[in-house]
Chain A
Amino acid sequence: GNSVTQMEGPVTLSEEAFLTINCTYTATGYPSLFWYVQYPGEGLQLLLKATKADDKGSNKGFEATYRKETTSFHLEKGSVQVSDSAVYFCALSLGETSGSRLTFGEGTQLTVNP
């Protein structure tokens, strides 16, 4: 079946530190890959996505590259801020259009201290 595995949290960093959250996947086809972020008390927001191998998604200083050879989509940011404190979810979708389910990882709680 299809699955997503994220590094276990929680992750605690100091402001301006480098962030990596690991994500690997298992899929029967060629999935699209996503990172969603959930700020405290809010819904999920799309952070970035990539639809094919070697694509790089980026947004708000976050980046992730679709690595087919290692089935990974690790999230990185060069310098985190306190406002980045949230839960980050890696997800995959096997369909290219609407109606395809998202399969999520377990989520990684990030806390950034001033």
Chain B
Amino acid sequence: DTAVSQTPKYLVTQMGNDKSIKCEQNLGHDTMYWYKQDSKKFLKIMFSYNNKELIINETVPNRFSPKSPDKAHLNLHINSLELGDSAVYFCASSPSYSNTQYFGPGTRLTVL
């Protein structure tokens, strides 16, 4: 199936731990994004990469670090997890010729 995929789907961890979320798209898109959806379902952009280059870097704590090893992958690493990091994190991608974004299924992160 052609799609945006994320792993893991659920992630439960303790405060202070470091964790990573992976995202892959096989749509051939050039740009990938990370969004955070809070408990009230509000969605906000965190980062965007175009061909492995960071192009959007919103005001997020330095504990969040995106990494794009190639244009089909965009991973999100989070250090020293805090309770407030609990949310659903969505990866998305878009082709170079369009502003339409295609979303992954989300990763629900719960910090205890």
List chain A positions with a Cβ less than 8 A from chain B: 32, 34, 36, 38, 42-46, 49, 87, 89, 93, 95-104, 106-107, 109
Contact = CB atoms under 8 A, between A and B. Distances in A.
A99 B43 contact: no
B86 interface: no
A109 B40 CA distance: 11
Nearest to A42: B105
Contact of A95 (B41, B92, B99): B99
A109 B105 CA distance: 18
B69 to A, nearest CB: 19
Interface of B: 4, 29-31, 33, 35, 40-45, 48, 50, 55-56, 90, 92, 94-106
A43 B29 CA distance: 18
A98 B96 contact: yes
A13 B95 CA distance: 37
Contacts of A99: 31, 48, 50, 55-56, 94
B93 to A, nearest CB: 9
Given A42-B105, A101-B45, A106-B41, 16 more contacts: A32-B99, A34-B100, A38-B41, A43-B90, A44-B43, A46-B101, A49-B100, A89-B43, A98-B30, A98-B94, A98-B95, A99-B55, A99-B94, A102-B43, A102-B101, A107-B43
B45 A102 contact: yes
A87 B98 CA distance: 24
Nearest to B41: A107
A42 B6 CA distance: 12
Contacts of A44: 43, 90, 92, 103
B8 to A, nearest CB: 14
A25 to B, nearest CB: 15
A19 B41 CA distance: 21
